């Protein structure tokens, strides 16, 4: 049955940039239309109301102050907002009016204000038509001021403000907003296309180059762009490409080396098996000699396979450490004793300087493998005196191990390669070397699992010291 992808297709970067730019412009245009056209009159009335109220509050607070009449003219822009003050009997205490408004009977104004005065609401707002000018309106703001215990002293203050007609203003704003909206949309589309192209182009180039990398082509370079983030991404991808190239090269070298290391013992095993069949089958002495070669090469093959498996587990992180408190002194002495017994007939001398009662939390089995591999390496490359020096001491809270040979040392240009798999410095060895070529790589991997520091102290012509601290 054919499967269908029910997830919506993702839009491109160019489309998203264009969409968000246009959406932003439309959103801003809608806000401008709402505030400048739809709600413009309401905002204007609120503004006038706030303006008149502020003037009214100031007049109330200064009602009995000196030069009250002068303050009225100054605060109302010299009679641009007429002010009328009545007492409860309808007698005008002050009437400034250059504005041609209707002049209702004072008693009507008192009756108009009476409900508010009786309930002490203190203020009223009304928008009234101006009969003297067709289509115009004015805003009336009335305040009730109680002056004393008797009603005869109650004061009514009125402020009048002509309201400007908003029709012409709204028409002009509409035309301007139409032009602004069209220009903004065109600008947003053009700008979004330019930005999306400049931003998407380097990303598309990086994607195309990454596609070549996926095919195994490491001879590529990721190009940056005009943005710091793109340059940083390109640098990271170039670094990853170099690392992948190194890994691929090491993989090829490993396959080549493993193939060579496996082919050699297999070839010998096959050759000596054929010799037993064709030549020495009836000769017990020759047959035993040939069988010993087969057994030795089989053991070497087994060791190589085991080392490859161990190294693979260590480097992949699948090997788990089992930490326990280990008597380092005792373990080291036992390993040196084993080596002394193995190589005593060959004249090797293992010189140990080890402090007593040293203990550390390590993986016992893997720690033994570290010492075994390092001492075996020293045996392979020590000088003609066949001496190997082992030092174990406590320094700055850590136990430091030093395994030193008396050989020719390592050429200075090969020090960094000494930990590589199957790497052997031909100039460095003074006799046929035993082992699989993986010993130091295994040591390095185990030490890393223990978070241990390690290194070499090389003296070309005077031997080499491998050290580590736990």
Q: What is the mean pLDDT of residues 191-209?
A: 81
Distances (CA, A) of 417 to 239, 364, 388, 412, 420: 21, 28, 22, 10, 5
Question: For residue 257, what pLDDT band results from cuts at 50, 70 and 90?
Answer: low
Fold that domain 320-469 belongs to in CATH? Heat Shock Protein 90 (3.30.565)
Contact indicator for 422, 261 with CB cutoff of 8 Å: yes
Q: What is the mean pLDDT of residues 273-294?
A: 79
Bridge partners, residue 53, by sequence: none
Contact indicator for 442, 369 with CB cutoff of 8 Å: yes
Digit-coded pLDDT (tens) for 109-146: 544 455 444 444 566 777 777 666 666 777 887 777 76
Fold that domain 228-314 belongs to in CATH? Helix Hairpins (1.10.287)
Predicted confidence (pLDDT) at residue 185 exceeds the cutoff of 80: yes
Class of domain 40-165: alpha beta
So where are the chain's domains? 13-38+169-208, 40-165, 228-314, 320-469
Contact indicator for 199, 228 with CB cutoff of 8 Å: no
pTM over 0.85: no
Digit-coded pLDDT (tens) for 335-387: 898 888 888 788 899 999 999 999 999 888 888 888 988 988 888 888 888 89
**What is the overall mean pLDDT for the chain?**
76
Q: Computed from CA positions of residues 150, 152, 155, 160, in that sequence, does the dihedral angle turn out positive or negative?
A: positive
Contact indicator for 28, 184 with CB cutoff of 8 Å: yes
Contact indicator for 321, 450 with CB cutoff of 8 Å: yes
Structure tokens at 172: 């002009």
Rounded-to-10 torsion of CA 304, 309, 311, 314: -160
Structure tokens at 317: 């992180």
Q: How far apart are CA 142 and CA 60, in angstroms?
A: 11
- C-alpha triplet 383, 385, 391: angle, nearest 5°: 80
Digit-coded pLDDT (tens) for 288-315: 887 887 887 787 778 777 767 777 776 6
Contacts of 117 (CB under 8 A, 6+ apart): 144, 146, 154, 156
Contact indicator for 84, 160 with CB cutoff of 8 Å: yes
Per-residue pLDDT at 90: 57
Predicted confidence (pLDDT) at residue 431 exceeds the cutoff of 70: no
């Amino acid at each position: 049955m054919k499967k269908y992808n029910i997830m919506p297709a993702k839009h491109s970067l160019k489309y998203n940039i264009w969409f968000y730019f246009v959406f932003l412009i439309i959103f801003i245009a809608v806000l401008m239309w709402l505030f400048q056209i739809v709600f413009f009159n309401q905002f204007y009335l609120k503004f006038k109301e706030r303006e008149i109220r502020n003037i009214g509050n100031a007049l109330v607070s200064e009602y009995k102050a000196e030069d009250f009449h002068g303050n009225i003219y100054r605060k109302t822009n010299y009679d641009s907002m007429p002010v009328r003050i009545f007492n409860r009997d309808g007698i005008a205490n002050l009437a400034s009016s250059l504005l041609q408004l209707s002049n209702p009977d004072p008693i009507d104004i008192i009756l108009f204000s009476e409900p508010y005065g009786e309930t002490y609401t203190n203020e009223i707002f009304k928008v009234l038509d101006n009969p003297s000018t067709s289509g115009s309106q004015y805003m009336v703001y009335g305040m009730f001021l109680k002056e004393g215990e008797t009603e005869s002293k109650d004061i009514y203050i009125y402020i009048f403000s002509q309201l400007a007609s908003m029709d012409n203003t709204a028409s002009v704003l509409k035309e301007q907003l139409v032009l602004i909206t069209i220009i903004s949309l065109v600008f947003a589309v053009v700008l979004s296309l330019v930005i999306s192209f400049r931003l998407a182009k380097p990303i598309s180039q990086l994607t195309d180059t990454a596609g070549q990398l996926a095919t195994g082509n490491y001879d590529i370079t990721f190009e940056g762009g005009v943005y710091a983030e793109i340059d940083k991404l390109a640098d990271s991808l170039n670094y990853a490409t170099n690392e992948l190239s190194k890994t691929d090269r090491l993989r090829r070298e490993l396959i080549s080396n493993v193939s060579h290391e496996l082919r050699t013992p297999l070839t010998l095993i096959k050759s000596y098996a054929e010799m037993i069949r064709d030549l020495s089958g009836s000769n017990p002495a020759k047959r035993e000699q040939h069988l010993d070669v087969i057994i030795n090469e089989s053991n070497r093959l087994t060791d190589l396979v085991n080392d490859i498996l161990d190294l693979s587990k260590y480097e992949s992180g699948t090997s788990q450490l089992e930490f326990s408190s280990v008597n380092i002194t005792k373990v080291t002495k036992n390993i040196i004793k084993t080596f002394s017994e193995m190589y005593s007939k060959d004249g090797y001398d293992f010189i140990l300087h080890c402090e007593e009662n040293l203990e550390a939390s390590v993986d016992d089995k893997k720690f033994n493998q570290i010492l075994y591999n390092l001492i075996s390496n020293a045996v392979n490359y020590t000088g003609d005196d066949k001496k190997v020096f082992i030092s174990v001491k406590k320094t700055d809270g850590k136990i430091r191990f030093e395994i030193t040979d008396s050989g020719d040392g390592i050429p200075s240009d090969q020090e960094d390669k000494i930990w590589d798999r199957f790497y052997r410095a031909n100039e460095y060895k003074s006799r046929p070397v035993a082992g699989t070529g993986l010993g130091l790589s295994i040591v390095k991997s185990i030490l890393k699992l223990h978070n241990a520091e390690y290194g070499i102290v090389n003296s070309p012509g005077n031997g080499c010291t491998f050290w580590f601290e736990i």
